[in-house]
Amino acid sequence: MTVKHSERRYSEVTGRAVLYAILIIVAIYYLIPLAIMISTSFRDMNDIRFGHLIDLPSSLSLEAWRMAWSEVQIGARRQLGLRPYFINSLLITIPAVTISVIVGALNGYVLSFWRFKGSNIFFALLLFGCFLPFQAILLPQATVLGKIGLSGTIPGLILTHVVYGVAFTTLFYRNYYVSLPGELVKAAQLDGAGFWRIFWRIILPLSTPITVVAVIWQFTQIWNDFLFGVAFSSPRSQPVTVGLNNMVNSSTGEVRYNVDMAGAIIAALPTLAVYIIAGKYFVRGLTAGSVKG
Amino acid sequence: MTQSVSTPEPVRTVRKVRKPSLGDRLAEQIPRLVVSPTLLIAVVFIYGFMLWTLVLSFSNSRILPSYGFIGLQNYERLFGNERWTVAITNLAIYGVLFVVICLAIGLLLAILLDQKIRAEGFLRTVYLYPMALSFIVTGTVWKWLLNPTVGIQRFVRELGFEDFRFDWLVNSDMSIYTIVIAAVWQSSGFVMALFLAGLRGVDDSIIKAAQIDGASRITIYTRIIIPSLRPVFFSAIIMLSHIAIKSFDLALALTGGGPGFSSDLPAIFMYQFSFTRGQMGVGAASAIIMLMGVMAILIPYLYSELRVKKDDR
């Protein structure tokens, strides 16, 4: 009996070891591209030419970072480096996230607590917007932006991101609010509180988790966008994803991988930072949303 | 998108006994006013523009939109174009592999992570982080790793395996698979998160009952847990196919559609014909085909969602 027991324990321990080994190997697979990216960005070109792919930099060189940020010639642009593109991305992303999240929260509030005739149809109509392949609206949107004089401008891109982001934020908030007890609002109504007061005093304070989810979602979507950025921008308003792509593809002569990698990290840094700081919320929100529904 | 849509009891507005004043009536309209901008967005920017694209696809638009009706000529030109045939074949290959591999890796990782793992939070963060990256960044990195003269091929050769070949990026028969590799790397962690959320939602009492009945762990997974994840499979498939159909940035950054147009995808085709090659009519036609592709996946999904809802009531 004791022998059997210890055998079983033994197999359980090896089982755990195999389990951890698999999980760690997979983790390495996900991390290697990032590790190579980071180490390459600190190497100089000689080091890359004669060294291994996976190798620590022989000396810590910030040259590639400086080049990518403010010195490399991208296209025919007068300002050098990714910096102007990065600033454009900030100017596009911050207002677009703010507006789309506020509108989504209000829509969700109405669709959960202030239903009107046809509000479900409205929600269903909007829901399709989450799945819309943007190619199907690209040409009309380009025409309309041209007509209202926003073609190739940052406000034009903000408008586009808000318009096509509201479907997502509304869905997030609506599904979250629906899970809150309706009595909250009913009781407040009996006390004479109105639409805005209930929103500010009761609903908004309960909205932190879903707001974190909506902000992270919108921020990553808009910061990482390339399609709108390339279709609706002019050289002066291009976001960082477009800048990076131009940089990687326009370099003449020898490809400077260290500069490319530094540029890629620069473009990825804001969303990575948001994810690392608040990623827990993303999964938590995902869980909450899909279970409570 | 992952959240299931449910309809609880509507909250009734409290009827006031006194006659409603003008202010009250105005107040009653506030909810409608608040959602009206979004209604406008839905009607104009989503549905109106879809129709507009449809109109353009029947028009003689070239560099600029124009509205001479030419029937199905753009569609004929589209399907007569070898590049389009390559693009949709590529999408089929890429889409199926991408969805299947992501589901397999995602489910496996979720199950492994669900075994009371010590560093679960950390591992989850690691598996999921590529999702925070732009497809352009992913494309840039993998373009370098997959480049035979500087990336993985050279690395393995330097380790002593001199016959090692991994030149898919520059091989027109294989280039589409490099997009699969990079896309799976980017999205599989996300599928893991979806499944993990689903696993955490499985009713413990059923599993306990099965354990008492002496069911093995594998049986519990294959017979009880995985079947109960059906909705997660469903929404993961929808989201992944949707990503696949829209794929534009990754392919553009990684292969640029090349070598030649061997790794072309409909989204690249649509963009180039509409914006850089002055064939807007053909571009619009390709956009409509893409839209129909999404609808073909989405409508059965929405239909089953709604039917489930009715059964619930």
Residues of A in contact with B2 (CB under 8 A): 286, 289-290
**Separation CA B233–CA B246 (nearest Å):** 20
For B292, how many CA atoms within 13 A lie in the half-sphere containing its CB?
9
Among the partner residues A52, A133, A164, nearest to B294 by beta-carbon distance: A133
Comparison of pLDDT for B20 and B43, the residue scoring more: B43
- Separation between Cα atoms, residue A158 and residue A160, nearest integer Å: 5
The residue count for chain B: 313
User: What CA–CA distance (Å, rounded) separates B182 from B240?
Assistant: 14
CA distance A256 to B168: 22
Is residue B188 over pLDDT 80? Answer: yes
B 96-135 near A (Cβ less than 8 A): 109, 112-113, 115, 117, 121, 123-135
Q: What is the pLDDT of residues A85-114, one digit of tens each?
A: 999 999 999 999 999 999 999 999 999 888
Distance in angstroms (rounded) separating the CA atoms of residues A227 and A161: 11
H-type alpha helices, chain B: 22-40, 49-57, 73-80, 82-113, 120-128, 135-145, 152-158, 175-200, 204-212, 217-219, 226-228, 230-246, 249-254, 266-271, 280-312
Q: Which residue would you say has higher pLDDT here, B101 or A72?
A: B101
Q: Please check the confidence at residue A293 and state whether its pLDDT lies above 50.
A: no
Tokens of B271: 């963009």
Best mutation target among A23, A52, A99, A135 (most B Cβ atoms within 10 Å) is: A135
- How much is the CA Rg of chain A, to the nearest whole Å? 25
pLDDT at A158: 96
Q: What is the mean predicted confidence (pLDDT) over A226-232?
A: 92
Residue pair B102/B240 in contact (Cβ under 8 Å)? The answer is: yes
Residue ranges of domains in chain A, CATH in brackets = 2-67 (no CATH), 70-292 (1.10.3720.10)
Q: What is the CATH number of domain B81-312?
A: 1.10.3720.10
CB contact burial A256-265 (16+ within 10 A = b; e otherwise) = bbbbbbbbbb
Partner-chain contact B65 A37, CB within 8 Å = no
% pLDDT > 90, chain A: 36
State residue A253's pLDDT score.
64
Interface test mutation site (partner B, options A99, A139, A226, A280, max chain B beta carbons within 10 A): A139
A106:B34 CB<8 A:
yes
Residue A282, pLDDT above cutoff 70: no
Phi, psi for B69 (deg, rounded to 5)? -75, 125
pLDDT confidence band for A25 (50 / 70 / 90): very high
Place of tokens 């330097």: B158
> Which tens digit of pLDDT belongs to each residue from B94-113?
999 999 999 999 999 999 99
CA A199 to chain centre: 27
Q: How many CB atoms lie within 10 A of CB A25?
A: 9
Q: Is the dihedral of CA A164, B234, B85, A225 positive or negative?
A: positive
Cα-based torsion angle of the residue sequence B260, B265, B268, B271 in order, rounded to the nearest 10 degrees: 130
When CB atoms are compared, the residue of A23, A103, A109 closest to B123 is: A23
pLDDT digits (tens, 9 = 90+) for B221-246: 888 888 888 888 888 888 888 888 88
Chain A residue with the nearest C-alpha to that of B297: A131
A interface test, pick of B32, B41, B134 with most A CB neighbours within 10 Å: B134
- Smallest CA–CA separation between B173 and chain A, in Å? 23
- Under 8 Å CB pairs connecting chains A and B tally to 290
The minimal CB distance from B46 to the residues A122, A129, A282 is found for A129
More confident residue, B292 or A6: B292
Place of tokens 């002496």: B214
Mutate to test the interface with B, among A14, A85, A127, A131 (most CBs of B within 10 A): A131
Residue of chain B minimizing CA distance to A173: B3
CA distances from residue A115 to A166, A178, A202, B8, B312 in whole angstroms, order as listed = 18, 11, 18, 11, 21
Taking the Cβ of residue B304 and every Cβ of chain A, the question of whether any pair is shorter than 8 Å is answered with no
pLDDT score at B308: 62
- Please list every residue in chain B whose beta carbon sits closer than 8 Å to the beta carbon of residue A126: 38, 42, 46
Contact B129 A272 (CB under 8 A): yes
Query: What tens digit of pLDDT does each residue of B144-162 get?
Result: 888 877 778 877 787 777 7
Domain-wise residue ranges, chain B: 81-312
| pLDDT score of B19 | 66
Please tell me if residue B177 touches chain A, with a CB cutoff of 8 Å.
Answer: no
B56 neighbors B281 (Cβ within 8 angstroms)? yes
* pLDDT value of residue B45: 93
Instruction: Find the closest chain B residue to A50 by CA distance.
Output: B150
